Chain A
């Protein structure tokens, strides 16, 4: 006689991998259709009310994907390997300027087109296929990470932090002065590089008509950028999870816990740390490249220290070392940064009849979040399991960072 199975039993009979993947998949599907029900959300609240401003617009969602990628990349460095990087924006800048150099008219006497899409051949400058630039930018950033990392990674933790901070300050200034590097105009200085070629599928359009030839040729271009960003987030998440569970990921955690013990167990310190830097930089570069393509421009002013701190704040808020927490932290803070704080402020002013300019205090609020989180909930909103144990029990006689700093 067959026993009747309840829904709960059926659920628990499913393989573990399916059960673990179910929630992320559900969220992903919901997010993928976001542009189609965004207008319904706003009309539900009342399109013209100030409360409707709280609903993230599709452009905000694109920026959120960019920051989630960056936060996931920094999480590799800070969360997994325990190296504090305060100059993460440098990698972002490298990615953005790779897009700027190889997809604009910057080097305009030259006329090089490599599988470029949607750019007439009469347009001068170097125009490499923009999809490939996402990869090229990421790889260049990774190489840059190795170049920075090799001399500095033998420093102790807090010195490393300050060195990366130094690089994070030097890179934007070098870019800003880049209109005159020994008499050559390389980066066009404070005027930035613009316009950067748009993404597009070129002749694939004929076979799958929903893929636009070039993004700007369709009316819902922003949605396409959003889906591209979402695909990049999924790619980043996949890489992060797979690397975390690999031999390399466990080596990072071992170094974070106790550098000397890890070295004694045969973990090659320099190589492992440098790889953490390179992989973190890879995603930073990819995010920068994608953001530059989305905005179709890149300026040295985009790469301030504030961005590094914001991304660090995302990692801390979400929970160092936990990809889901970091995704949440990245999404929440970038939403607040680009839309949320202003909307909250407007609503508050509307109700209370005041006139606070809340977005002005964005970084003060982020600073407050950092301080409060470190004091009250250092493991973050969604802590990594291992990290939680460390922070709650503590490690006798010096904890995870102290060992790695000697």
Chain B
């Protein structure tokens, strides 16, 4: 009796996925539509405020993009959410302070021909150290688990993240860490122009202008070099690429090095822009960046940059605009709500292709 009852009920259950697909599509359009209405409404409400917040959002998005690329590179190759990436970024901010302020003695009072090479030096130091650190993390914590159950490296990554936070705190302290003892900015903080009374500072421009070549270099490395080709091959099929003579371990290490270096560069730019850092800001910023990577389509480089820009804009809009905005108390919730909505309704992200594996 029971088997017959089940047999009768089965067709209705089988029809459900088709409905959910339609609901999905409608929900996606509704969400995008509401977002567009909200943005346009805010623009009409106060255009000057809108443009100044937009510029701030682009700066924020540039920093997120660098961290998000670290997530998306690693996820693309071994399908691991490397929670530790955000904390590597945090260590990048700390290293930048030590090198730029502690060792090189930059405090914003030097002439530009001293500041520029020294800041570049600090940037390179942060990139090198974070890249090396990321490779070490992969070697110690993830490589032994490559054939383990899939959630094992994920859990390890969370543990690693907490460990790195505390290492950062042990070295640089639990308190807020200012960039310079005087509280000065190293990047020039002078106003370039004003929109509706809100100044646009030179350091915002520097962040954006520095990010773009880094993104282009990364694109070149992944698309046009031999090791980039190896990365894409390993991402597609690890076993097949091993048979083709690709050194899989080295390729994965190279990917982690790239991701770490990007996080280090983001760390330098972030601390130069914000002029202070803390041992625990990496985890949350990392989650924001991961949201950006998911929004753009995880594993997709252009997607990560686009998603980061969008997340940066949404956060800046939420905190800076005034027409129907929840305000800064809700920034985190909004970002994570976006993450959840994207994963539920469009797991492949904005630019990712819909494959069974990614969904």
Contact = CB atoms under 8 A, between A and B. Distances in A.
Contacts of B330: 173, 177
Contacts of A364: 162-163, 165-167, 169-170
B155 A401 contact: no
Nearest to B147: A394
A170 B332 contact: yes
Contacts of A169: 287, 332-333, 336
Given A163-B344, A316-B155, A367 B332 contact: no
B159 A370 contact: yes
Nearest to B337: A170
A66 interface: no
B151 A401 contact: yes
Contact of A159 (B161, B169, B347): B347
A375 interface: yes
A173 B14 CA distance: 38
Contacts of B141: 371, 375
A402 B294 CA distance: 20
Nearest to A168: B336
Interface string B276-288: 0000000100010
A399 B163 CA distance: 27
Contacts of B339: 162-163, 166
Interface in B166-193: 166-167, 169-170, 174
Contact of A363 (B79, B162, B290, B340): B162
Interface residues of B, number: 47
B158 interface: yes
Contact of A84 (B148, B154, B290, B343): B154
B245 interface: no
B90 to A, nearest CB: 13
A155 B158 CA distance: 20
Contacts of B275: none
B11 interface: no
A369 interface: yes
Contacts of A161: 81, 151, 154
Contact of B162 (A156, A367, A406): A367
A157 interface: yes
A371 B163 contact: yes
Contacts of B332: 169-170, 173
A158 B359 CA distance: 11
Nearest to B156: A374
A400 interface: yes
B159 A174 contact: no
Given A173-B329, A177-B329, A367-B159, A374 B344 contact: no
A157 B150 contact: yes
B159 A374 contact: yes
B149 A163 contact: no
B343 A361 contact: no
A382 interface: no
Interface in B119-160: 141, 144-145, 147-156, 158-160
A311 B70 CA distance: 28
A360 B169 contact: yes
Contact of A371 (B156, B283, B340, B344): B156
Nearest to A152: B344
Interface string A9-53: 000000000000000000000000000000000000000000000
A124 interface: no
B145 A155 contact: no
A394 B146 CA distance: 12
B357 interface: yes
A167 interface: yes
A158 B165 contact: no
Contacts of A134: none
Interface in B322-359: 329-330, 332-333, 336-337, 339-340, 343-344, 347, 356-357, 359
Given A155-B343, A364-B165, 15 more contacts: A156-B359, A157-B150, A158-B80, A158-B151, A158-B154, A159-B347, A163-B343, A166-B340, A177-B329, A364-B166, A370-B155, A371-B156, A378-B148, A378-B152, A399-B148
Going nearest first, the 8 A-B pairs with the smallest beta carbon separation are A364-B166, A370-B159, A367-B162, A166-B336, A367-B163, A401-B149, A401-B150, A371-B159
Interface of B: 79-81, 141, 144-145, 147-156, 158-167, 169-170, 174, 283, 287, 290, 294, 329-330, 332-333, 336-337, 339-340, 343-344, 347, 356-357, 359
15 contacts: A151-B344, A155-B347, A163-B339, A163-B340, A165-B287, A170-B337, A177-B329, A363-B162, A364-B170, A370-B156, A371-B160, A374-B152, A390-B149, A399-B149, A406-B357
